[in-house]
Amino acid sequence: MNLFYRKLIFLLFFNSLSLFANEKIDPAIDLKKSGFIPVFVRMSDQLITRAGEYERLSVAYSENSRSENHQQVLTSLQKKARDSWELVSEKTSKLSEEGKVRNLKKFWIINGFSCLAINSAIEELAGHTEISYIYLDLFSKPIRRSFPLEQKEFLAMEAVDQEWEKKDFKKIKDLKIPWNVREIGAQAAWSEENATGKGVKVAIIDSGIVSTPSLIHALAKNSGEKLNGLDDDGNGLIDDLFGYNFVENTGNILDRSKTTSHGSSCAGIIAGRPSSSGLQTAIAPHSKIMPLKGLDLSSLEYLMKNSADIVSMSFMIVDRDLGQMRGLFRNAFEHLSLGGVLPLGGAGNYGRQSRRSMPSGTQIGLPKDIPCVLAIAGVDRSRNQFHFSSEGPCYWTGVRFFSDYSKSNPLSKPDLAAFPSGYPVWNVTGAHEVRASWKEVEKDNGASLIVGPAGNSFSGPHAAGVAALMLSVNPELNPWEVSKILRESATDLGPNGHDYKFGAGLINALAAVRAAKN
């Protein structure tokens, strides 16, 4: 072969490699742009690589208990991340030394890393065989070390710890049970099946909680940590005694708001202990909660490593084009579920009659639009749809690795329904003054019980509480098994079968707990 043909073959081969590498770069990344671009680099070696594998693996993993799957998946994810890093570290080190990459942070819930990179570095990384895709990181934030609490925050958290340590927390014989707890079937599950949520830990990604005994005594405590300004358990986080604030990088899990506390309301529905008068707001009154602030991959890794059984998320991203990043987060939540954590939350408040109405097919957003994340719609006490409640379906088209639900084959959402309003919830004292229709029914130590706040943010915690009841009688149920039981035991509403308003229907705690036992 003469020199001309050898050069031609080399040129064609080089061009084909460049074309292949460019297919691994998110179209939203502008390679003509100068300066640093926030990206997430996804490695090739993932436990779940594409759509359909979660469903296939969950069938295989059903042979194992949830605790076995938790350890196996956690070990596998962390090993894959270590092994892949060994294969790319030489390349990333070189790019860092050349000043082309900076602010690099490694993850294992998705095998990959985030960084800031210039365009030539992005192209070089895309050419590496161990890298499967490079996303434009729409959730990029500066890397900050964990900070000790400021004095005011330290004193507030010290008071929380002191209250938590009290062993004589009030035991009230004659409890007052709100209608939503009774009608979701929780009270019957307590009395008839001895299902109270005992031994179950629920992570709550929200705004934090107010400092009141009824919520403090529901907190799960990190036994390896002390409140001393140090990282006692060696996990890189200072004073993560009762959870962590990933927004501010501190151990402060208290809500800063002076007007309302969204996180307190959700926490109280799941696990709030009785008020001074005996008002019991919790669906799972013996479960424990782990408050977290900020949804990112770090918070998902934290709750999985710290053995959360359920994660309740009362927030949603809508009316924003997340592009390919939807697939990245779906990948993370599918890994989380395989590892034994049930993710769920309210379906949203963007229904056709809502003042924030969204078009059909866009009313349920990330992360509730992910198949393995339960999305909970809202009904009133008469079992009618709340006017604001988001409806399905959801679509996954044009999403790299996860393009499986099209207009002709949509994802049926929401999954279930619960009660989003009309009962007392824990809140900031004085919150009833925010709106004329809100009413303070009890003022307690550090907080008040308010009737009036509404939204599917409060439907989601009903599902979290019922799931906790189920796991307290059968701790080894896998997340997909819990989801299946919740759907099959629900009370059908609307048209027969699963629909876009109510999902499988109203959650039935007693029926779900009995099915879980079997």
Looking at the structure, tell me whether residues 406 and 498 fall in a common domain.
yes
Domain boundary among 117, 136, 155: 136
Residues 6+ apart with CB under 8 A from 442: 275, 276, 277, 279, 424, 448, 449
Task: Say yes or no: 315 and 458 in one domain.
Answer: yes
Residue 172 identity: I
CA–CA dist 428, 242 (Å, integer)? 20
Q: Is residue 163 part of a domain?
A: no
Q: Which domain holds residue 65?
A: 17-136
The two structure tokens encoding residue 246: 């990933």
Residue whose pair of structure tokens reads 């408050």 in the numeric block: 291
Q: Which residues pair with 279 in a beta bridge?
A: 176
Structural domain contains residue 165 = no
pLDDT at 21: 75
- Per-residue pLDDT tens digits for 55-98: 999 999 999 999 999 999 999 999 999 999 999 999 999 999 99
Say which DSSP state 503 is in: B
Residues 132 and 196 in one domain: no
Would residue 156 count as lying in a domain?
Answer: no
Q: Are residues 187 and 249 in the same domain?
A: yes
Kindly give the residue spans of alpha helices, DSSP state H, lying in 98-236: 119-126, 151-165, 179-183, 186-193, 213-216
Nearest by Cα to 85 from 100, 103, 107: 107
Strand, coil or helix: what is 416? strand
Same domain, yes or no: 126 and 191: no
Q: Does residue 234 sit within a domain?
A: yes
Residue 339 confidence (pLDDT) above 80: yes
Asked if residue 42 belongs to a domain, the reply is yes
Question: Is the confidence at residue 298, as pLDDT, over 80?
Answer: yes
- The reply to whether 434 falls in a domain is yes
Paired with 414 in beta bridges are: none
Tell me, yes or no, whether 182 and 114 share the same domain. Answer: no
pLDDT tens-digit series, residues 4-29:
554 445 444 444 444 467 899 999 99
Output the DSSP codes for 341-372: -EEEEE--S--TTSTT---TTSSS-BTTTSTT
Contacts 24+ apart (CB under 8 A), 162-168: 163/211, 163/213, 163/216, 163/217, 164/216, 164/217, 164/219, 164/221, 164/242
For the record, the structure tokens of 109 come out as 């819930």
Residues 120, 194 within the same domain: no
| Distance, CA of 32 to CA of 377 (rounded, Å) | 44
Domain finish residue from 136, 161, 181: 136
Q: Tokens in use for 479? A: 């997340």
The predicted-structure confidence for 453-481, as pLDDT tens digits, reads as follows 999 999 999 999 999 999 999 999 999 99
| pLDDT score, position 243 | 98
User: What would the pLDDT profile of 410-441 be if each residue is shown by its tens digit?
Assistant: 999 999 999 999 999 999 999 888 888 999 99
The reply to whether 420 and 368 lie within a common domain is: yes
Alpha helices by DSSP H, 409-494: 459-473, 479-489
User: Is 98 found in the same domain as 55?
Assistant: yes
Same domain, 213 and 65: no
The number of domains in the chain is 2
Q: Is 90 exposed, middle or buried (0-12, 13-18, 19+ CB in 10 A)?
A: exposed
In the prediction, which pLDDT does 338 show? 98
What is the per-residue pLDDT for 57? Answer: 98
Q: What is the CATH number of the domain that holds 276?
A: 3.40.50.200
Task: Evaluate the CA torsion angle 337, 477, 405, 369 in order and state its sign.
Answer: negative
Last residue of a domain, one of 136, 162, 185: 136
Q: Does 258 lie in the same domain as 121?
A: no
Asked whether residue 181 is domain-assigned, the answer is yes
46 lies in a domain?
yes
